[in-house]
DNA sequence: CGTTCGATGCACT
DNA sequence: GTGCATCGAACGT
């Protein structure tokens, strides 16, 4: 299956367009020869200094510098002191924006993913495949992505995003919702998910396909 | 089913 | 010193 890295021009576009087109592509990480990969099934846009939830909201700082840099690079930062979250920088250089990758459908290196998840938190086992890369903090653990990958070039580096031709293969339907896990900027529907996909994060059944049905309670 | 809460590190005021 | 773009265990209902 031929795979090619998404070109720089792919990222140098309006962020919501990039977000839509990013769903279905594959995030690949090679670490110590071990290769893990997952198809992007959930992501969110953070766009410009006017977006209160974007890290660029306070203007340029040392931390958010990658957002102002060239598109097609990774912005990886630590949040809650625990989780490395990975973003893809978008828009032409100078326009701070990025896409937070929130969930993947595991594609390659499932054993390594499981090993890493178990090592990080000794919690056992009951981990089904769909949960390996569910959630932005979980997928970085599964793929072994750390802060060392901040500013990494996503166009053909060891951390990269590729199109393997499977992007629309599943006939997936995309659903746009407000972003989750934030306290401001919750009005914009800048979260894009594959509707009903079991690997998507957030409240289960929130994607409409199979809302949990509950008998009326007294 | 739902909500609460602790762990944890770093950038920023 | 404060505040997170989180996670999952532990509890309440």
> Residue A135, CA: closest nucleotide via C1'?
C6
Residue A58 — pLDDT band, cuts 50, 70, 90? very high
User: Can you tell me which residue has its alpha carbon closest to the C1' of nucleotide B7?
Assistant: A82
For the CA of A60 and the C1' of B12, the distance in angstroms is 12
Considering all CA atoms of chain A, what is the largest pairwise distance in Å, rounded to the nearest integer?
58
> How many residues are present in chain A?
218
**Per-residue pLDDT at A32:** 84
> Residue A205, CA: closest nucleotide via C1'?
B1
Average pLDDT along chain A: 89
For the CA of A66 and the C1' of C4, the distance in angstroms is 19
Q: A178-186: long-range contacts at Cβ-Cβ below 8 A with a sequence spacing of 24 or more? A: A179/A44, A179/A45, A179/A53, A180/A44, A182/A53, A184/A52, A184/A53, A185/A51, A185/A52, A185/A53, A185/A54, A186/A53
Helices (H), chain A: 8-11, 15-22, 65-68, 110-120, 136-143
Q: Is the pLDDT of residue A216 over 70?
A: no
Residue A126 — pLDDT band, cuts 50, 70, 90? low
Instruction: Supply the pTM of this predicted model.
Output: 0.92
Q: Is the pLDDT of residue A174 over 80?
A: yes
**Per-residue pLDDT at A202:** 79
Residue A205 — pLDDT band, cuts 50, 70, 90? very low
- Protein residues in reach of strand B (CB < 7 A): A 58, 61-64, 78-82, 203-205, 212, 214
Asked if strand C comes closer than 7 Å to A150 Cβ, the answer is no
**Per-residue pLDDT at A207:** 43
pLDDT digits (tens, 9 = 90+) for A92-108: 999 999 999 999 999 99
> What is the average per-residue pLDDT within A178-194?
94
**Per-residue pLDDT at A217:** 23
């Amino acid at each position: 299956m031929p795979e090619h890295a998404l070109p720089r021009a792919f990222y140098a576009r309006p962020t919501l367009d990039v977000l839509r087109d990013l769903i279905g592509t594959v995030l690949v990480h090679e670490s110590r020869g071990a290769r893990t990969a997952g198809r992007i099934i959930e992501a969110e846009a953070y766009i410009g200094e006017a977006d209160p939830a974007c890290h660029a909201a306070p203007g340029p700082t040392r931390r958010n510098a990658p957002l102002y840099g060239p598109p097609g690079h990774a912005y990886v930062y630590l949040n809650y002191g625990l989780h490395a979250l990975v973003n893809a920088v978008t828009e032409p250089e100078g326009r701070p924006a990025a896409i937070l990758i929130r969930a993947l459908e595991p594609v390659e290196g499932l054993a390594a993913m499981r090993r890493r998840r178990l090592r990080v938190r000794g919690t056992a086992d009951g981990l089904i495949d769909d949960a390996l890369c569910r959630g932005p903090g979980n997928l970085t653990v599964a793929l072994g992505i750390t802060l060392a990958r901040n500013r990494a070039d996503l166009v053909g580096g060891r951390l990269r995003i590729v199109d393997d031709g499977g992007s629309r293969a599943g006939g997936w339907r995309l659903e746009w919702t407000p972003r989750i896990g934030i306290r401001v900027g919750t009005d914009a529907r800048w979260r894009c998910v594959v509707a009903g996909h079991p690997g998507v994060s957030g409240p289960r059944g929130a994607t409409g396909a199979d809302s949990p049905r509950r008998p009326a309670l007294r």
